[in-house]
Each structure stands twice: as structure tokens, then as C-alpha cells.
Amino acid sequence: MWCYRGGSISTEPRINDRIRVPEVRLVGPSGEQVGIVPLAKALELAQEYDLDLVEVAASARPPVCKLMDYGKFKYESAMKAREARKNQAHTVIKEMKLRPKIDPHDYDTKKGHVVRFLKQGDKVKITIMFRGREQSRPELGYRLLQRLASDVEDLGFIESNPKQDGRNMIMVLGPHKKKTEAMAEAREAQAARKAERQGVSATDEEAPSEDATVEAEGTEVASAEVAEDVEAPTSHEASAEA
């Protein structure tokens, strides 16, 4: 009776001597089609080019193999996967809780948070919490949710209409912008702010200070006065020369 004892299954392709077929469909280093050749001939070409023979399509008949630098290929694949994970956008659902009789200042604060979440490309779950006699006035919560949706309609839309859930009323707002677009805009804005700061710093270093300018002007005036004293002899010195 066959029994699987576990262990990881390798997902890496077979290379060089691990390839166990009589012949392969060979692809050259630049992607050119070499054709169907015996495995021994393919391995010989790989050794001649100082490359690896890599099985890229094992299910084909015969299997497709390519001549490549497998170490370099693995490194580039890992870098691409890392970059893809870095740019991958995960949709996040934020939650904001309000009371039916919220005061204007608190409403503006909560709305500000909702605006920020939508600008970041996140969904926002708005929850109206009813207490005591407020439960008999669900229209208050509904009007508040409609007001909030109207105030942020340029950034988001009603993805899930208001619905009663026990003592709460819930509505979900979705952003107009995708998460990836919001992330790209945030990176561009950050780069622009950084460049602006660097430009201001460079300008401050290059521009002479006001004190230095005044000091330079004072030095020039003093030099001119000294020159006049040297060039213009006194009346006593003129009489002595005569």
C-alpha cells in the first residue's frame, strides 16, 4: 500500500543532468528556436555556451528546454516578485462610528477621517449607534448617513445602502480611486515635497545673507574713503612741496 509521508514538493524546474528524457525541443539563449534535438546534444550546447539547460515546459511532448543562466534567472524572478508584492494593493475597510445627534464639530472631525480614508483608496464602514429612545427614530441615522455620503460624493460612493442591524445602522462607502492609484499619487506627492525641500535648502545655501551683503558694502565704502585719503594730499603737504 502506497503511503505519502509528507514533505515539500519542489516547484523548481529540472535543469541539466536532472532532465531525464531522450530528446527535447530546444530554445536558444536569445529565444531562437533550435528545434528537436537529443538530450545529449542539448547538454553539449549548454556546456559550450557556459549556460544551463532548463526545462521550461515539462508537459510538452517533447519537453521544451531553454539555454539560460539559471542563477541569474532565479535572481531576476525573485526581484520581480518582490516588486510585485511591494506594489500590491490590499483593500482595507476602515470603520467610523457616529451618534444620531452628533454635534457639528464632531461631525466635521469624523467627516475629515472619512475623507482621508477615501483618498487613500480604502473603503469606509459607517456605523450609526442608537441608544435608548433613539432606536425609535431610525430616520435620524438614515438622514445623517445620506448627508455624509453627499458631503464626500466627489471622493466616494455608496457601495452598500444604509441598513438596520440591531441597535446600529450601517452603510459602506467605496472610493472612486483604486488603491493602486491612491498609492501612486501619494508616492508622487511625497517625491515632490522632498524635491521642493531640497530645492529650498540649496537656494538658502547659495544666496548670500543680508548681513554679508551689508558687510561687503561697508567694506567697499571704507576702501573708497581710504583711497581718497591717500590720493588727496593735505594743504600743508602741498605748500611744503612748493
In this structure, of 3-7, 119-123, 139-143, the range with the lowest mean pLDDT score is: 3-7
Q: Which residue has the cell 472610493?
A: 175
> 204: helix, coil or strand?
helix
CA distance 54 to 172: 50
Q: Give the mean model confidence (pLDDT) for residues 29-50.
A: 92
In this structure, of 151-165, 183-197, 198-212, 228-242, the range with the lowest mean pLDDT score is: 228-242
Q: Give the mean model confidence (pLDDT) for residues 194-219.
A: 60
Q: How confident is the model at residue 227 (pLDDT cuts 50, 70, 90)?
A: very low
Q: Give the mean model confidence (pLDDT) for residues 76-103.
A: 83
CA distance 169 to 98: 10
pLDDT at 54: 94
Residue 107 predicted with pLDDT over 90: yes
CB 43 within 8 A of CB 22: no
Mean pLDDT score of the chain, rounded to an integer?
80
Quote the longest CA-to-CA distance of the chain: 136
- The string of pLDDT tens digits covering residues 126-185 is 999 999 888 889 999 999 999 999 999 999 999 999 999 889 999 999 998 877 777 777
pLDDT at 203: 63
CA distance 32 to 24: 14
- pTM for the model stands at 0.46
Q: How confident is the model at residue 225 (pLDDT cuts 50, 70, 90)?
A: very low
